[in-house]
Amino acid sequence: MTPFAYHLARDPADALAALTAPGGNIPLGAASFLAGGTNILDLMKENVARPMRLVDLNQLALARIEETPAGGLLLGALARNADTAYHPLVRSRYPLLSAAILAGASPQIRNMASNGGNLLQRTRCYYFYDTGTPCNKRSPGSGCTALGGLTRLHAILGASEHCIATHPSDMCVALAALEAVVHLRSARGERQLAFADFHRLPGDTPQHDNTMAADELITHIELPPARHAAHSAYLKLRDRASYSFALVSVAAALALDEGGRIASARLALGGVAHKPWRQPEAEAVLQGKPAEPAHFAAAAAVLLAGARGEGVNDFKIPMARRAIVRALEVAAAGTPGPACREEER
Amino acid sequence: MDIAVKNAGGAQAQAAPRYPLSLRINGQPYELEVESWVTLLDLLREHLHLTGSKKGCDQGQCGACTVLVDGRRINACLSLALMQQGREVVTIEGLAEGARLHPLQRAFVAHDALQCGYCTPGQICSALGLMNEGQARCRDDLRELMSGNVCRCGAYPQIVDAVEEVMFGSAGAEERDRPVIVGMVPA
């Protein structure tokens, strides 16, 4: 790691001030926040990130999970991924979020990683991590080595000629489907961002993963009142049974009326784009329809419209189509419990 | 560390700032001063010579560095020492009581849950964290919730057997409840 200064923040205002002061000569963007550390420290060891100062957020009172007056949940940015996934209210009202978090990383990392940090994790593109190769995300203007390279983890939707990286989070796929709201704070005040507007597509500025300003801090992630707890599924397809990034993942959530017709549908994909991939038009296809595979396939076709592989990752297009149908079938049958294959003890 | 500072600083060489750190490791209080970039794993191994925790990948992928912080398992390689201010760290060195091994250690010996042994301290600390979490209900859960620990010798079935025995209990455990003489290689 390149040497850096360390500042233990007392409160959010102190954390925000420490992005540039004290010491004076730290330009905005040269300091980074430190929460769980699981991604930033890894990137620092690889020399991909070289902050001049780390501002440790771990003493901030932002680790609570509490109900909102509207009937939703407010997830503290510093609540750990494991505590969020296993929280009784998350499990009962948002089993999709619980399942998505538990599909990601390892138990050790979930114990460390914060909710805010999960949103801010960088891509796992091999070339982004390899400082010996050009990468527009790591070094803007240098080129993209993934184009024409190994693209097993790379995008089939929303990519650009400058970047075909994917966002690696599982949690964020569920948060997109659940229409979470990100609460941000800066010295200028507080604001809220719809989850769909938080992450962005690469375009010609792939160095920016999201639309946060450099002087902002995530304080909370708000979940609106739950509608889909009884019919949701997170399906993750990967190269190993566990502890591997998604080739394709699907967050599917349905609300069914008394007649079994779809009153509300949510669909988001992971592993396929620079952000969790969601298209309201695909969900509209399911509105008012019976929960049947033919309609699921029609929704998949809309969600995957315009999908394009890079050769190596062409397989992800039919894989995603089938995964969407499968996830919707599972959701329609009822949210799967955390069942063991063998007899329970 | 001083050599690294001289090399990095060149003509402008000056001592890198150290930050005070107080924590407990295996029940012992420590008052230390460390540079910002020292990971918990490097603090344990290089500064305090507690070399039971292993540096496998140094990227959080292998789990060989797993330790418990306030009872929760984490990758010591992905955490700064300074992030452990005031915390209680337990490593593999802290599990036995004198010559009396921890039940997980005894079970790993009894089940031959290792071959080269490099991943074993991390496996055992991870298993202890798993038990503290209380989420596993069956062997499938054990396999999934031990997936952050890689064993390249392939002792996975025996590791699951050992953890299963301690978590869920099984006949014969008491018979193996005997002191193990340090330095003896189990047959």
Which one of A41, A54, A344 has the shortest CB-CB distance to B137? A344
Task: Give the DSSP letter string of A97-123.
Answer: HHHHHHTSS-HHHHHH-BHHHHHHPPP
- Separation of alpha carbons B97 and B93, rounded Å: 10
| pLDDT band (50, 70, 90) for residue B171 | very low
| CB contact (8 A) between residue A341 and residue B35 | no
Contacting residues of B for A241, CB less than 8 Å apart: 144, 147
* pLDDT given for residue A337 in this prediction: 85
φ, ψ of residue A198 in degrees (nearest 5)? -80, -55
| pLDDT band (50, 70, 90) for residue A342 | low
In chain A, which residue ranges form alpha helices assigned H by DSSP?
Answer: 12-17, 40-45, 81-85, 88-93, 95-102, 107-112, 115-120, 126-129, 171-177, 195-198, 280-286, 293-303, 316-333
Closest Cα of chain B to A295: distance in Å?
A: 33
Which one of B66, B79, B140 has the shortest CB-CB distance to A37? B79
Render pLDDT for A108-121 as a digit per residue (tens, 0 to 9). Answer: 999 999 999 999 99
Closest Cα of chain A to B148: distance in Å?
A: 5
| DSSP-derived secondary structure letter, B25 | E
Contacting residues of B for A4, CB less than 8 Å apart: 36-37
Residue of chain B nearest A51, judged by CA positions? B37
* pLDDT given for residue A22 in this prediction: 77
Strand-pair partners of B97:
B100
Strand-pair partners of A66:
A74
Residue A112 token pair: 């460390």
Closest Cα of chain B to A44: distance in Å?
A: 10
- Separation of alpha carbons A120 and A43, rounded Å: 13
3-state secondary structure of A128: helix
Put simply, whether B59 touches A (Cβ < 8 Å) is yes
Are A273 and A165 in contact by the 8 Å Cβ rule? The answer is no
Contacting residues of A for B60, CB less than 8 Å apart: 38, 42, 106, 108-109
* pLDDT given for residue B117 in this prediction: 97
pTM for the full predicted model: 0.94
| pLDDT band (50, 70, 90) for residue A204 | very high
Render pLDDT for A17-52 as a digit per residue (tens, 0 to 9). Answer: 999 987 767 899 999 999 999 999 999 999 999 999
- A152 pLDDT higher than 70: yes
| CB contact (8 A) between residue B139 and residue A106 | no
Q: What ipTM, to 2 d.p.?
A: 0.96
Residue of chain B nearest A85, judged by CA positions? B135
Higher pLDDT, A340 or A305: A305
Put simply, whether B60 touches A (Cβ < 8 Å) is yes
* pLDDT given for residue A26 in this prediction: 87
* pLDDT given for residue B16 in this prediction: 84
Share of chain B above pLDDT 90, in %: 81
Share of chain B above pLDDT 70, in %: 83
Render pLDDT for B110-165 as a digit per residue (tens, 0 to 9). Answer: 999 999 999 999 999 999 999 999 999 999 999 999 999 999 999 999 999 999 99
Render pLDDT for B58-74 as a digit per residue (tens, 0 to 9). Answer: 999 999 999 999 999 99
Put simply, whether B130 touches A (Cβ < 8 Å) is yes
* pLDDT given for residue A344 in this prediction: 46
Mean residue pLDDT of chain A comes to 96
User: Judging by DSSP bridges, how do beta strands A53-56 and A5-8 pair with one another?
Assistant: parallel
* pLDDT given for residue A151 in this prediction: 97
> Closest by alpha carbon to A164, among A40, A316, A322, A45?
A316
Q: Which of A108, A236, A244 to mutate against chain B (most B CBs within 10 Å)?
A: A108
* pLDDT given for residue B3 in this prediction: 32
Q: Which of A106, A111, A240 to mutate against chain B (most B CBs within 10 Å)?
A: A106
For chain A, counts of helices (H) and of strands (E): 13, 11
- Separation of alpha carbons B129 and B118, rounded Å: 19
Residue for token pair 């693209």? A151
> Closest by alpha carbon to B39, among B62, B13, B65, B15?
B65
Higher pLDDT, B16 or A51: A51
> Closest by alpha carbon to A262, among A234, A299, A302, A305?
A299
3-state helix, strand, coil in chain B (%, to 5): 40, 15, 45
Give CA separation, A321 vs A292, A310, A330, B105, in Å. Answer: 15, 17, 15, 47
- Separation of alpha carbons A51 and B177, rounded Å: 51
Closest Cα of chain B to A60: distance in Å?
A: 13
Contacting residues of B for A41, CB less than 8 Å apart: 39, 78-80
* pLDDT given for residue A194 in this prediction: 98
- A100 pLDDT higher than 70: yes
Render pLDDT for A251-298 as a digit per residue (tens, 0 to 9). Answer: 999 999 999 999 999 999 999 999 999 999 999 999 999 999 999 999
| pLDDT band (50, 70, 90) for residue B179 | low
Are A179 and A194 in contact by the 8 Å Cβ rule? The answer is yes
Q: Which structural domains are found in chain A, ordered by start?
A: 5-56 (3.30.43.10), 232-333 (3.30.390.50)
Over range A81-109, report the average pLDDT: 98
| pLDDT band (50, 70, 90) for residue B13 | low
* pLDDT given for residue A123 in this prediction: 98
| CB contact (8 A) between residue A342 and residue B138 | yes
Over range A193-203, report the average pLDDT: 98
Long-range contacts: B74-78, Cβ < 8 Å, 24+?
B74/A108, B74/A111, B74/A112, B74/B40, B75/A38, B75/A106, B75/A108, B75/A109, B75/A112, B75/B148, B76/B39, B76/B40, B76/B41, B76/B44, B77/B39, B77/B40, B77/B41, B78/A37, B78/A38, B78/A41, B78/A42, B78/A109, B78/A112, B78/B39
Q: Which of B2, B69, B75, B151 to mutate against chain A (most A CBs within 10 Å)?
A: B75
- B174 pLDDT higher than 70: no
* pLDDT given for residue B6 in this prediction: 36
Residue of chain B nearest A36, judged by CA positions? B79
> Closest by alpha carbon to A71, among A194, A181, A223?
A223
Are B37 and B46 in contact by the 8 Å Cβ rule? The answer is no
| CB contact (8 A) between residue B82 and residue A8 | yes
* pLDDT given for residue B177 in this prediction: 54
Q: Which structural domains are found in chain B, ordered by start?
A: 18-94 (3.10.20.30), 103-176 (1.10.150.120)
Over range A173-184, report the average pLDDT: 98
Residue A308 token pair: 């394009």
- A190 pLDDT higher than 70: yes
> Closest by alpha carbon to A234, among A153, A156, A338?
A338
How many C-beta atoms surround the C-beta of residue A277 within 10 A?
Answer: 27
* pLDDT given for residue B1 in this prediction: 31
Closest Cα of chain B to A210: distance in Å?
A: 24
Beta-carbon pairs below 8 A across chains A and B: 102
| pLDDT band (50, 70, 90) for residue A85 | very high
Contacting residues of A for B139, CB less than 8 Å apart: 340, 342
Contacting residues of A for B83, CB less than 8 Å apart: 34, 37, 56, 58
| CB contact (8 A) between residue B140 and residue A345 | no
| CB contact (8 A) between residue B129 and residue A54 | no
